[in-house]
């Protein structure tokens, strides 16, 4: 079920203070997500969530997660700069390499961040750019399909990420010869899944693999990084992931492979993005046009440059109309933006109550991979971001772009 934690009065009040479109984030909800995750893994040695910065790259949000004990997962120069801006350093930063300019290793090593290598060839690049640290994380790709029960959850064999099993046996001794003392394992095998067996199954694979590689290489396994992938219920009727059940499932696998976690030396890390911020961000937009041809269209003042997921993936985002939560959904609309692209639709043939011009539409579950995927196609500019603080204040945490911003890079 999409998140209906805020009353319409909050959305309406925000829309009185700031022109639409803009993103609204709920501080209380963000903190609750971090606390629920920390509680679910409180049994685990040295647990830490590294919030995936790409999901919501705003230092005000990162600071909230820092206060909740989280680190950050970065994979670009600018994401490292954001992490610094928000006060992170050292092992509170995970740097996940992936075909990026090798000089970015220099920056990550200067910050003393944890390094996650995407490929065996990264060993030489890292050695030349900042050197091999004591602990190196490596990303595993098991190939083939990844299944949970009868369901195919992902196709690692087609994914660009990670090392093969054979490469781990070759590369870890190379890292050891270059001075590494410990290794860590990471894998990301399913995206946006609310299936509570995902992390337990993934952890079992990585724990078994880590134990085997410890024996094989003589390196110590420092931690297992379960990465992102825990999903959120975008559609009505979908269930939330049950973090307590997920944490308990991972604990059982830990016990099976390493024994009692109370005496365990292998730490657990996660890099959730979507789960941490997705449900607690909304895109607010006004209905500004109505058009009736072969279908009924509602034109809004946001467009796919503000929220790309529906156009890019056909993703479902729930929409409600402020003041009409309980009205019958007896109209069928395509809700569209103003781009000259026919996929610029936030909803297609969506049952909604009657929409009147001037209505405030709330697009749900936009807090992750929403603003951050924005672009400027058609000369449409990125919107503002507003944080609804726990004390009731509406804090502007990013202003909307202006034409001057759009032209700033012209030579
Ligand atoms: C995108 C990403 C994440 C976060 O994924 P979510 O689906 O948002 O949880 C975590 N780790 C890495 C390396 C990623 O690329």
Domains of the chain, start order: 41-272 (3.20.20.10), 279-407 (2.40.37.10)
Rounded distance from Cα 161 to ligand 1 centre (Å): 12
The structure tokens 């092992």 sit at 91
Phi then psi for residue 396, to 5 deg, are -70, 115
Rounded to the nearest angstrom, the distance between the alpha carbon of 229 and the centre of ligand 1 is 6
Q: Is 62 helix (H, G, I), strand (E, B) or coil?
A: helix
Which residues, including other chains, have CB under 8 Å from residue 311's CB and lie 6 or more apart? 304, 341, 343, 344, 345
Q: Model-level pTM? A: 0.97
Low-confidence ranges of the chain (pLDDT < 70): none
Predicted local confidence at residue 29, as pLDDT: 98
- Taking CA atoms only, the protein residue closest to ligand 1 atom 7 is 229
Using a 6 Å CB cutoff, which residues line ligand 1?
52, 54-55, 73, 96, 188, 191-192, 227-229, 271-275, 368
Q: Which of 30, 48, 53, 55 to mutate to test the pocket of ligand 1 (most atoms within 8 A of CB)?
A: 55
Among 52, 54, 281, 373, residue to substitute to test ligand 1 (most atoms within 8 Å of Cβ) = 52
Q: How far is CA 282 from the centre of its chain?
A: 15
pLDDT at 97: 82
DSSP 342-369: TT-EEEEEEEESPPPTTPEEEE-S-TTT
CA Rg value for the chain: 22
Share of the chain above pLDDT 70, in %: 100
How far apart CA 314 and CA 51 sit, in angstroms, is 25
């Amino acid at each position: 079920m999409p998140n209906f934690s805020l009353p319409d009065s909050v959305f309406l009040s925000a829309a009185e203070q700031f022109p639409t479109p803009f993103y609204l984030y709920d501080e209380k909800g963000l903190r609750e997500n971090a606390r629920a995750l920390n509680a679910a893994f409180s049994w685990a040695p040295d647990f830490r969530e590294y919030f995936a910065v790409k999901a919501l790259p705003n230092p005000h949000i990162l600071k909230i997660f820092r206060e909740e004990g989280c680190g950050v997962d970065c994979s670009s120069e600018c994401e490292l700069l954001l992490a610094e801006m928000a006060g992170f350093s050292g092992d509170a930063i995970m740097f996940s390499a992936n075909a990026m300019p090798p000089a970015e290793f220099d920056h990550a090593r200067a910050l003393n961040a944890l390094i996650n290598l995407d490929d065996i060839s990264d060993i030489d690049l890292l050695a030349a750019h900042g050197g091999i640290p004591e602990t190196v994380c490596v990303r595993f790709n098991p190939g083939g399909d990844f299944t949970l029960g009868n369901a195919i959850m992902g196709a690692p064999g087609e994914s660009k990420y990670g090392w093969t099993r054979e490469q781990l046996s070759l590369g870890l001794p190379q890292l050891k010869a270059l001075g590494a003392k410990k290794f860590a394992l990471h894998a990301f095998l399913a995206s946006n899944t609310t299936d509570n067996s995902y992390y337990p199954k993934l952890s079992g694979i990585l724990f078994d693999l880590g134990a085997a590689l410890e024996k094989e290489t003589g390196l110590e396994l420092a931690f297992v990084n379960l990465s992102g992938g825990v999903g959120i219920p975008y559609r009505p009727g979908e269930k939330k992931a049950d973090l307590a059940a997920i944490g308990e499932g991972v604990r059982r696998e830990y016990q099976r492979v390493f024994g009692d976690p109370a005496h365990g030396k292998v730490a657990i890390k996660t890099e959730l993005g979507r789960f941490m911020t997705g449900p607690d961000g909304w895109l607010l937009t006004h209905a500004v046009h109505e058009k009736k041809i072969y279908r009924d269209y509602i034109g809004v003042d946001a467009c796919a440059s503000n929220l790309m997921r529906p156009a890019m993936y056909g993703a479902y985002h729930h929409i409600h109309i402020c003041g009409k939560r309980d009205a019958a959904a007896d109209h069928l609309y395509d809700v569209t933006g103003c781009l000259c692209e026919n996929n610029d639709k936030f909803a297609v043939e969506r049952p909604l109550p009657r929409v009147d011009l001037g209505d405030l539409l709330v697009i749900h579950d936009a807090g992750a991979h929403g603003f951050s995927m924005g672009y400027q196609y058609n000369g449409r500019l990125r919107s503002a971001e507003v944080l609804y603080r726990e004390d009731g204040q509406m804090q502007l945490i990013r202003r909307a772009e202006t034409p001057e911003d759009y032209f700033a890079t012209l030579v």
